[in-house]
A = this chain, B = another copy of it.
Amino acid sequence: MECSPIGTVHTPFETTSEAPRQGPHSDAEGIVDVDPAYREGLTGFDAERVVVVWWADRADQDVLTLDRNADRGVFTSRSPARPNPVCITECTVVSVDPAAGRLRLHGVDMADGSPVVDLKATL
C-alpha cells in the first residue's frame, strides 16, 4: 500500500522534537502546498476546519512501545513514532486558494517539510 504525497506542509518547526505534541495545543500557523496534479481535489473547498493526514518522515518506525514509558504501546498514544507514521492533525483554515493549491492553516504541529498524504472534511 504505497502512499504518494499529495503535497507538503510548511511549519515553524524544524524538527519533530520542536513540534508541539498535538495540534489542539498549537497556536502555530502553517501552509499546505498541494502538488499541481492533485489540486483538482480542492474544488469547492470552503470548510472552516480540515483534517490533515501527513507522514512523519523523520519518525522512528521500528518502535512498538514508547521511549518514555515501555509499559505503553505506541497504539495507546499519538506519538509519531510507530510502524506506519501516518499522523492526523485537525486544523482551522485561515485561507484557501484552490487554484494555487495553497491552504493557510492554524493549529499545525507537523515538522516543516513533512509530506501530506490526504486532506479530509471534519466530522
Contact = CB atoms under 8 A, between A and B. Distances in A.
A77 interface: yes
B43 A71 contact: yes
Given A44-B72, A98-B73, A78 B2 contact: no
A123 B4 CA distance: 26
A98 to B, nearest CB: 7
Q: How many copies, total?
A: 2
Contacts of A2: 1-3
Interface in A55-101: 55, 57, 64-65, 70-78, 82-84, 86, 88, 98
A52 to B, nearest CB: 10
A64 B86 contact: no
A51 interface: yes
A41 B84 contact: no
Interface of A: 1-6, 22, 24, 34, 38, 40-47, 50-51, 53, 55, 57, 64-65, 70-78, 82-84, 86, 88, 98, 115, 117-121, 123
